[in-house]
Amino acid sequence: MARYGTSPEDDATRVSMPEHRDYVMTSMVVQNQVEGLEVRLNDDGSWYAVPPELDTCAILAGGLLQVVTNGRVRACLHRVKTPSNRDRFSALVGCMPVQGSTVRAMAELVSEDHPLMYRPCDPYEYVRFQFSEEGRRSKDALKAFCGVAKDEHVEA
Ligand SMILES: O=C(O)CCC(=O)C(=O)O
Ligand SMILES: [Fe+2]
C-alpha cells in the first residue's frame, strides 16, 4: 500500500513517482479513487492516464515477463502523476516466481528470426542487481544483467 501526499516530489511536473519499469513478472495496481498512474504505450513519448475505476485493477508487465516472452512483451514504463492535490492511496501486488527458480524464455518464442534475448536467470539475483550501484546506473538494467550480446551463443 502506498500513500502519495498532496504535494508531489516534483512540484513543477506533479510527478510523484518518476518513470520506471517494475522488475517483477507482473504487477497489479489498484488505485483508490484518485488518479495518478500513467503508462507509456509506444515510443512517441506520450503518457496515457489509467483511470481509477471502481472494482478494476491495472496489470502491468514487468521485466521478468520480458525475459519469459523473449522481449515480445516489454516491461511497461510507468509513473505516478498527481495533478489534483488529493491525497492518493494505491495498493500494489507484485508477482514473483518462487525462490530458487530460474526464469527463461519460452522455447516457442525463440527462433532464428527472433534469437534469444536474455539468458536464463535467477529472478532474485536480478532484483539484487536492479538495486545495486551498477543496476541503478545502467540505462537498461535487464539487458545489463542477462542480455545476450549479438554474437554470443547461449544454451536456453
Ligand atoms: O501507485 C501507483 O499507481 C503505481 C506505483 C508503482 O508504480 C510502484 O510502486 O512501482
Ligand atoms: Fe511501478
Ligand 1 nearest atom to the CA of residue 94, by list position: 10
Nearest one of 60, 91, 90 to 73, comparing CA atoms = 60
**Distance in Å, CA 108 to ligand 2 centroid:** 29
Fold category of 2-146 in CATH: Jelly Rolls (2.60.120)
CB of 37 within 6 A of ligand 1: the answer is yes
Residue 93: nearest ligand to its CA?
1
CB of 76 within 6 A of ligand 1: the answer is no
CA dihedral 10, 13, 16, 22 (to 10 degrees): -120
- Round the average pLDDT of the chain to a whole number and report it: 92
Specify the pLDDT at position 152. Answer: 80
CB of 78 within 6 A of ligand 1: the answer is yes
pLDDT digits (tens, 9 = 90+) for 20-40: 999 999 999 999 889 999 999
Strand partners, 47: 40
CB of 60 within 6 A of ligand 1: the answer is no
120-127 LR contacts (CB < 8 Å, sep 24+): 120/146, 120/156, 121/67, 121/145, 121/146, 123/25, 123/64, 123/96, 123/97, 124/99, 126/23, 126/63, 126/64, 127/23
**Distance in Å, CA 80 to ligand 1 centroid:** 7
Specify the pLDDT at position 60. Answer: 98
CB of 38 within 6 A of ligand 1: the answer is no
Specify the pLDDT at position 57. Answer: 96
Phi and psi, residue 151, nearest 5°: -105, 15
Q: Where are the domains of the chain?
A: 2-146
Would you place residue 9 in the very low, low, confident or very high pLDDT band (cuts 50, 70, 90)?
low
pTM score of the predicted model: 0.92
Q: Which residue has the higher pLDDT, 98 or 7?
A: 98
